[in-house]
Structure 1
Amino acid sequence: MDSVTKSYFENLEAKDKDIQIEAYNNIIAATKEEVDWAYEVWDQLKGWLTDTDNHRRSRAAQFLAGLAKSDPEKRIVGDFSALWEVTRDPKFVTARHSLQSIWKVGLAGKEQKEMVINHIVDRFQNGADEKHYTLIRFDMIQGLKNLYDVLKEEEIKQLAMDLIETEEDIKYRKKYMTVWK
């Protein structure tokens, strides 16, 4: 890992919030492409998934989701359940930020894509008792759209349409459809 990237990870712990935000944004930007330093931070980030600090949990989930494409050993497959758990975090903003990033795991390969899609489908179909469930559903549909936009696989779009059709409330069905317009 180069010294600049290393400083970003160090600056996540800075006292100055502006420095933290800048570091976070730079790491997110870096993970949009494949990187050669994923395993240098992997175990630390995995540990952060259960940290007492919700900011660390959120960052770890977002960073690991982005780093999945830089994971030739497919560690994300074994670590996915811990990552998915953060999408159910007691702190809703942490859960939501994690859920909004989880689709990136699907960019890492066929197995990872199927894993993400299967979790989204299961939760869409079986999570109606969750607090803020319509927002969670919206985020999952948006995640499928993001995955579709990158991969251009019609099956992903069709799956999203099928899920949207299962929504009984017309108002929410229309809201979910706005993602695909």
Structure 2
Amino acid sequence: MDSIIRSYFDNPDNEDKDFRYEAYVHIMKATEEEVDWSYEVWDQLKEDLAHPDNHRRSRAAQFLSSLAKSDPEKRILRDFPALWEVTKDKMFVTARHSLQSVWKIGLAGPEQKEMVVSQLANRFDNCKDEKNYTLIRSDIIQGLKKLYDEVKDEEIKQKALNLIETEEESKYRKKLAALWRT
């Protein structure tokens, strides 16, 4: 891990919001590809999933989702339940940012992909009683679309289209279908 990335992880509570934003952008950019330093920060990120600061929880979930492709030990399979809890965070923006990044875990391998698709589909089916459930469903369909675009797995496409068809309200069903086409 280079010293710049290390400094970003060493100062997660830096009071300078510009520094925190710069750190976020650089870490997300760095984790677009596989990295060899994922386990240097993994345990801290896992702890941060339950941190009192919602920003730390959100960043931890997003970073772990992005680091899953750099996880040859498949720790994400064991640690996923803690990350998934952040997608249901009491702070909706935290929950939403976390949910929007979960699809990246599916890039790590077949087991991870199956787990993510299954969890997203289950959440889609069972989120109707949640506040802002239409946004949650939208994020799920967009996540499945992003995963499909990366891995071209027709089962993901069919799962998403089947989920869209289960939406009872036609205006939301049309919005979800439009997300899939874009």
Interval of TM-score (by shorter of Structure 1 and Structure 2)? over 0.9
- Per-residue deviation, 1:107: 0.4
Q: Deviations over 1:59-87 (max 9, x none)?
A: 00000000000000000000000000000
SS, match of residue 52 in structure 1: coil
Q: Are residues 1:126 and 2:126 paired?
A: yes
TM-score, normalised to structure 1's length?
0.98
Q: Are residues 1:157 and 2:157 paired?
A: yes
SS, match of residue 5 in structure 1: helix
SS, match of residue 12 in structure 1: coil
SS, match of residue 32 in structure 2: coil
Query: Residues of 2 paired with 1:20 and 1:75: CA distance?
Result: 26
SS, match of residue 64 in structure 1: helix
Root-mean-square deviation over aligned CA pairs: 0.8
Runs of 4 or more, structure 1, over 6 Å off, are none
Query: Residues of 1 paired with 2:20 and 2:126: CA distance?
Result: 37
Query: Residues of 1 paired with 2:120 and 2:180: CA distance?
Result: 17
Name the aligned partner's letter for residue 86 of structure 1. Answer: V
Query: Residues of 1 paired with 2:161 and 2:97: CA distance?
Result: 23
Equivalent residue, structure 2, for 1:16:
16
Query: Residues of 2 paired with 1:139 and 1:38: CA distance?
Result: 26
Equivalent residue, structure 1, for 2:41:
41
Equivalent residue, structure 1, for 2:98:
98
Alignment of 1:32-111 (within 5 A): 32-111=32-111
Query: Residues of 2 paired with 1:57 and 1:107: CA distance?
Result: 22
Q: Is the 8 A contact 1:12 1:19 kept in 2?
A: no
Q: Is the 8 A contact 2:102 2:116 kept in 1?
A: yes
Equivalent residue, structure 2, for 1:146:
146
Query: Residues of 2 paired with 1:4 and 1:13: CA distance?
Result: 16
- Unaligned residue ranges in structure 2 (runs of 5+): none
Name the aligned partner's letter for residue 173 of structure 1. Answer: R
Equivalent residue, structure 1, for 2:113:
113
- Per-residue deviation, 1:11: 4.1
Q: Deviations over 1:41-65 (max 9, x none)?
A: 0000000000000000000000000
**Percent identity between the aligned chains?**
67
- Unaligned residue ranges in structure 1 (runs of 5+): none
Name the aligned partner's letter for residue 121 of structure 2. Answer: V
Query: Residues of 2 paired with 1:161 and 1:30: CA distance?
Result: 32
Query: Residues of 2 paired with 1:119 and 1:155: CA distance?
Result: 15
SS, match of residue 90 in structure 2: coil
The count of residues paired between Structure 1 and Structure 2 equals: 181
- Per-residue deviation, 1:12: 3.1
- Per-residue deviation, 1:126: 1.5
Name the aligned partner's letter for residue 28 of structure 1. Answer: M
Q: Is the 8 A contact 2:127 2:136 kept in 1?
A: no
